[in-house]
Structure 1
Amino acid sequence: MNTRRITMAIIATALVASLACNAAAAQGLGSLGGKLGGALGNSGSLSSGNMGNVAGILQYCVKNNYLGGASGASGIAGKLLGKTQGGSSNADYQSGLSGILKGKDGRTTNLANVGGGNSDLKSKITTKACGVVLNQGRSFLGH
């Protein structure tokens, strides 16, 4: 049942993002972030429930080029990992390294599978999710 809800949430998010992309094509890509922000930024499953998972997701985002070096994501991930019980062996951190975002609400989203096979859509959704998690990491550190 939980897997079905996750699948439906991902499909709904992909549909909303797809509609946003069509609108963005007409208006220019500059407004895409705002359109996707409404679809993704308010989703409980796109912000993590703990520091370890945030640290892992940030490393996933940097490794897969969704966040650049100038974002400071690697440094933030390192600081968060230092505050995480168990360090790099923490299960939530390890999940994050694989792109599995563990939400505050207990749901998980696998960033490696978003976008329904559309690589452009996947990139946009994952980049947005990485930005949300980066802001959450900064918040955890008081930045």
Structure 2
Amino acid sequence: MTTQTLALWASLSLAGSASAQLPSGLLGGMLPNVASTSAGNAAGLLSFCVKNKLLGGQDASSVIGSLTGQPGVTTSKDFAQGQAGVVQTGNGSGLSLANLKGQMKTKLCDMVLQHGKSLAGL
């Protein structure tokens, strides 16, 4: 592993805290700050992550249930984008999980799960 790769993993490890935030500029700004995603986008992303076996277990299902139970979540454009694997950051830009490799996808799904818990009050 290069020094740059190690620094990236260290940043992601720190970013996986309860705030579910990534440092700005990580990977040249490729990865968004997950904490700015809406409840709809988080619910859709979690559904995408479970469907694609990037997340599993009752924890993710519980958060998805709580978020999709909120008014307007399942009918929002952000929810549809999340189900397609696109992280919406609130400023009109998005990042497709298809553009990420291996453990980066899993890490981002874990971070969305933490953010989803916060949004759901869990």
TM-score range, shorter chain: 0.7 to 0.9
Match of residue 69, structure 1, among 48, 57, 61: 57
- Counterpart in 1 of 2:12? 36
Give the fraction of aligned pairs with identical amino acids, expressed as a percent: 36
The 3 A distance-change label for structure 1 pair 130 and 41 is: same
Superposition CA RMSD, Å: 2.7
Match of residue 50, structure 1, among 34, 38, 54: 38
- Counterpart in 1 of 2:119? 140
| C-alpha separation in 2, matches of 1:135 and 1:89 | 22
Q: Secondary structure at the match of 1:45?
A: coil
Q: Tell me the TM-score normalised to structure 1 length.
A: 0.64
The 3 A distance-change label for structure 1 pair 91 and 78 is: same
| C-alpha separation in 1, matches of 2:67 and 2:79 | 10
Match of residue 77, structure 2, among 91, 94, 107: 91
The 3 A distance-change label for structure 1 pair 88 and 123 is: same
Q: Secondary structure at the match of 2:95?
A: strand
| C-alpha separation in 2, matches of 1:111 and 1:84 | 26
The total of aligned residue pairs comes to 108
| C-alpha separation in 2, matches of 1:42 and 1:104 | 16
Structure 2: runs of 5 or more not aligned: 16-20, 25-30
Shift of residue 88 of structure 1? Answer: 2.6
| C-alpha separation in 1, matches of 2:77 and 2:22 | 25
| C-alpha separation in 2, matches of 1:19 and 1:73 | 28
Larger radius of gyration: 1
